[in-house]
Chains A and B, each alone.
Chain A
Amino acid sequence: MTLFRRRLQETGKEMCFEATKMALDSAGLTRADVDTVVCGTAPDAFDGVAMKGEYLLDGCGGYRKPYTRVFTGGGTGVFSTIAGWWHVASGLADVALVVNEEKMSSCQPHPQSVFAHIWDPILDRPLKPNLVWIFAMEMNRYMTVYGVKKEDIARVAVKNKRNAVGHPCAQLADPNITVDDVLNSEVMAWPVQRLDISPPSDGASAVVLASEDFIRKRRIKDRAWISGVGWCIDSTMWTDRDLVFPEYVARAAKMAYKMAKIDEPRRQIDFAEPYDPFDYKELHHLEGLLLADKGEAPTLTREGVTERDGKMPVCPSGGLLGVGNPIAATMGMKIGELFWQLTGQAGERQIPREVHTGVSQAWGDLMQYGSVVVMRA
């Protein structure tokens, strides 16, 4: 993966090339070994290039190969890996390369204006909604129904920004941040404050997926196994859903757990990388992933269970809150961190006990989409 920064000088193609080259080098492979390429990237309007998949193609190493661009909003961060996986699992490919990119700095003055175009043109758009509003609404519903205190939610931002200190690509790592810093930060759309939110970023990331046969034949030692995948989307009629629980994440998780033969997720999963574009989302998603009871995730956070040295480390990478949020390229943490933790290569971020099973999850579209991957050492 590349550095995640508010602005990078490199173009999207150049960022893709850097990430792709790094992934191939680390697997000891070349472009010639790759059977198929999956590119994951979010709205074209961020980069300002329509048909962004084609635009990024050369940087992704995809030319003259079966190449597919996938996009499920923020959920692309985990979903593109699932799309790569099904190429290999079906036997169609031995090696699938997955490359995710986002260059959010192109859009002026702020990528926020692009999000105005995700809304229903008749029902929502005349009200001039801001994307932060819907997260604020979801967060408020979650807080009110379960009586969650803002300070317990702020603990997630503190944990993740501190965890990111050990991440070489991090944009917003902060070893000294406190709960008070978060609670005293600017109110953007109450209950969402500035430090509750991950930043817009430029960045790219890439992973190589290969069949068991190929890995054994080529004696690739750096490897972790995808043992379950799941994805699910809820209705676009978002004002008809109770926002308190992400049912679509729960369904995606159950699909992945079934495939991975996990029937007691809290006991069988060692650590998690849920999607954390906002601090409350980590809590929301932990409940969706069935790693916490409904309304229980804030308590687990307060008790330190989700710290890197806790019983269930959550976002040991530093997450989107600490490392940055180049939408699809967050695969660098969500999939990358599972791999690095499971192969004992996370360096300063390594969980201080042996871990065998990790789960990652991303979330997107109109608060309605969940993608889940279970990986084993």
Chain B
Amino acid sequence: MTARISRWPGIELTAADLHEGKVTQTRFRPDAKYAWSAGEAMSRFLEELQNGRLIARTCRKCARVLFPPRMFCEECFRPTDAWTYIRDTGTIETFSISYLDTDARRIPEPILVGVVSLDGASPKMGMMHYFGGMTKDEIRIGMRVKAVWKPKEERRGSVLDILGFRPLGEGES
């Protein structure tokens, strides 16, 4: 059919057409605000962040240490059993050197961001976060890292209570 059809519908507009007001548009800026319930698992997780600790849930059936913590095991489909602290050290699983902010706007100094698998949780389980104390040329997959916590009085019960992850020093744990 692509070979047989001669007219493909669609009238293209350029960015200039919009800016020069050649096209009628209507604009609306939504003003929606949300207050999310943190829920059982996340509430405890956020509370522990204020204490400078990472907490997980264990599932007796599959013997996993689940992080981020959850109240049910999606694999065994049963309630999880107990709380357990894990370490604030881990391994960089992957990362990106981003020159884009949230709105895809360009930023001159790149953000180092990635996924850390955390020591004490089941293999590969971890969280997304920023990296610091290393350059974009030094960061690599497999690097050992440790959380950098905000001073206690500044912690608010948010993943931002951790500023990011820095390289783990020689002999440090």
Contact = CB atoms under 8 A, between A and B. Distances in A.
A339 B10 CA distance: 22
Nearest to A203: B10
A126 B94 contact: no
B94 A240 contact: no
Interface stretch (A1-9, A67-75, A94-102, A294-302): A1-9
Nearest to A116: B102
A276 B101 CA distance: 23
Given A113-B103, A122-B36, A347-B2, A192 B96 contact: yes
Contacts of B115: 137, 239, 243
Contact of A9 (B23, B68, B70, B125): B23
Interface string B106-134: 00001001110000001011111110000
A138 B115 CA distance: 10
A133 B93 contact: no
A242 interface: yes
A175 interface: no
B99 A7 contact: no
Interface in A20-49: 22, 26, 48
Nearest to A200: B104
A299 to B, nearest CB: 21
A127 B9 contact: no
A123 B83 CA distance: 18
Contact of A3 (B3, B10, B34): B10
A258 interface: no
A144 B100 contact: no
Interface string A174-186: 0000000000001
B46 A122 contact: yes
Interface residues of B, number: 57
A368 interface: no
Nearest to B27: A108
A167 interface: yes
B94 A144 contact: yes
A66 interface: no
B18 A7 contact: yes
A109 interface: yes
A355 interface: no
A119 B17 CA distance: 34
B158 to A, nearest CB: 5
Contacts of A15: 9-10
A349 interface: yes
Contact of B14 (A7, A138, A192, A203): A7
Contacts, number: 182
A128 B101 contact: yes
Interface in B10-53: 10-15, 17-18, 23, 27-28, 30, 34, 36, 38, 42, 46
Interface string A100-138: 000001001110110010000111101111101100111
Nearest to A15: B10
B68 A237 contact: yes
A122 B102 contact: no
A259 interface: no
B3 A347 contact: yes
Interface of A: 1-10, 15, 18-19, 22, 26, 48, 105, 108-110, 112-113, 116, 121-124, 126-130, 132-133, 136-138, 140-141, 144, 167-169, 186-192, 202-203, 222, 235, 237, 239-243, 336, 339-340, 343, 345-347, 349-350
Interface of B: 1-5, 8-15, 17-18, 23, 27-28, 30, 34, 36, 38, 42, 46, 67-68, 70, 74, 93-104, 110, 113-115, 122, 124-130, 136, 141, 158-160
Given A3-B10, A5-B13, 9 more contacts: A7-B12, A7-B17, A127-B159, A128-B101, A136-B97, A141-B94, A169-B10, A235-B74, A239-B126
